[in-house]
Chains A and B, each alone.
Chain A
Amino acid sequence: GENVEQHPSTLSVQEGDSAVIKCTYSDSASNYFPWYKQELGKGPQLIIDIRSNVGEKKDQRIAVTLNKTAKHFSLHITETQPEDSAVYFCAASPSGTYKYIFGTGTRLKVLA
């Protein structure tokens, strides 16, 4: 069945360093890959997304890369700040469906 694996489960970085979170999806029909940030006690919020016809997308300090052949996609956060500390989820949505299959999340801690 559809599955999204996400690594690492926890990540600690020093303020100003970069953070990378990686996901692998199983359904080759997936064509939409969002990333969500969840702060404590709140619902997840979209921070960036990418579609299968694009290999990379950047928005200020955040970038996402997609390798369709390997079925990998990654989130890159540069110049991390304490407010980046949160749980990050990747997701994949198979084409023609309304489902979003989420990874298990990465708890990012940015140490000041």
Chain B
Amino acid sequence: SQTIHQWPATLVQPVGSPLSLECTVEGTSNPNLYWYRQAAGRGLQLLFYSVGIGQISSEVPQNLSASRPQDRQFILSSKKLLLSDSGFYLCAWTGTASGTEAFFGQGTRLTVV
């Protein structure tokens, strides 16, 4: 069966420090991969999605970047964190067909202090 792993679960980082969140998927090949951010009391904002290795689409201009070095690995990064980067970050995957179920990881709660 397919599983998605996301880590760490919680992270407290000072302003100006770098960030690296990792997400891996098991049990499937060539998944579409997504990073979402969920601010407190708000919906899920799509940050990045990827349909293949090295292919990244950015949905909103921001202080973050994403990379997909391997088929089932998706990384969210920042060189210098801002206070506004605090939030709950979710990785998700879907199959290659459009309009299919998205499977989410357990999320990373990032607090920038």
Residues of A within 8 A of B (CB): 6, 31-32, 34, 36, 41-46, 49, 51, 89, 91, 93, 95-105
Whether A43 pairs with B99 at a CB distance below 8 angstroms is no
With A98-B49, A98-B51, A98-B94 in contact, do A44 and B99 touch (Cβ < 8 Å)?
A: no
Top-8 shortest CB links A-B: A43-B104, A32-B99, A104-B43, A102-B44, A102-B43, A98-B32, A46-B101, A44-B104
Question: B94: which A residues are within 8 A, CB to CB?
Answer: 98
Contact residues of B: prevailing secondary structure: strand
Query: Across the interface, which residues of B come within 8 angstroms of A32, CB to CB?
Result: 98-100
Separation in Å of the B53 CB from the closest CB of chain A? 15
**Cβ < 8 Å to A, chain B residues 23-51:** 32, 34, 36, 42-46, 49, 51
Give the size category of B's interface with A.
20 to 34
Does B106 count as interface, using CB distance less than 8 angstroms? yes
Task: Bits for B5-21, please: 1 = Cβ < 8 Å to A, else 0.
Answer: 01000000000000000
Chain B residues with Cβ under 8 A from A51's Cβ?
99
B83 at the interface (CB under 8 A from A): no
Q: B90 at interface (Cβ–Cβ under 8 A)?
A: yes
B102 interface residue (CB < 8 Å to A): yes
User: Quick one: which of A42, A45, A89, A95 contacts B99, CB cutoff 8 A?
Assistant: A95
22 contacts between A and B (CB under 8 A): A6-B43, A32-B98, A32-B99, A42-B107, A44-B90, A44-B104, A46-B102, A49-B101, A51-B99, A93-B98, A93-B99, A96-B98, A97-B98, A99-B46, A100-B46, A100-B102, A102-B44, A102-B46, A103-B43, A104-B43, A105-B43, A105-B44
